Amino acid sequence: MPRLKRNFRICYYYHLYNRGNRKSIVFYDSADYQFFLDNIYYYANKYSVNILAHCLMPNHYHLVVQCNDHAKNISSMMQSAMTRFCVYINKRYDLVGRTFQGTYKHKLLETEYDLLRLKKYLRENPIKAGMVTKSEYYRWLRT
């Protein structure tokens, strides 16, 4: 079944997210988290995509992005970054196959309220998972 074409729009905010294949761990240690962030921000810069927020959890990630240039740049950024991250994980842990469960999902954040609500959700994510008592203590979160 072919993938649906993503119709991103310039200047709008989007929530991008995905989880590990079969709900498995994606980030095994701090080096994996750091590689993911360095990688995603590298490609965001290359494709002129603004990452407003991120939250990396052991088995999934969330990104809040905006593109002010060409709408297809979000897709280009994600394809490049996720391919490079998958290659990194497979080489580092002697794995094969997918790292993530299919392609990433995306949701348009239509209003300022949607954006604020999502940022609140991201801050609560590591707390609800029992990883920290305050979101400020979670290293892999930026809102």
Compute CA distances 7 → 10, 71, 75, 84, 108, whole Å: 10, 8, 9, 23, 10
Residue 133 in any domain: the answer is no
Residue 126 in any domain: the answer is no
Q: Which tokens hold the place of 115?
A: 């954006």
Per-residue pLDDT of 77-119, as tens digits, reads 999 999 999 999 999 999 999 999 999 999 999 999 999 999 9
Residue 107 in any domain: the answer is yes
Residue 135 in any domain: the answer is no
pLDDT of residue 109: 97
Residue 20 in any domain: the answer is yes
pLDDT of residue 2: 53
Domain that holds residue 21: 13-115
pLDDT of residue 1: 44
Per-residue pLDDT of 23-72, as tens digits, reads 999 999 999 999 999 999 999 999 999 999 999 999 999 999 998 888 89
For range 6-21, the mean pLDDT: 93
Residue 8 in any domain: the answer is no
Q: Domains in the chain: how many in total?
A: 1
Task: Give me the CATH number covering residue 35.
Answer: 3.30.70.1290
Handedness of CA 72, 10, 19, 1 (dihedral sign): negative
Compute CA distances 17 → 66, 74, 80, 92, 100, whole Å: 14, 13, 15, 23, 10
pLDDT band at 3 (very low <50, low <70, confident <90, very high): low
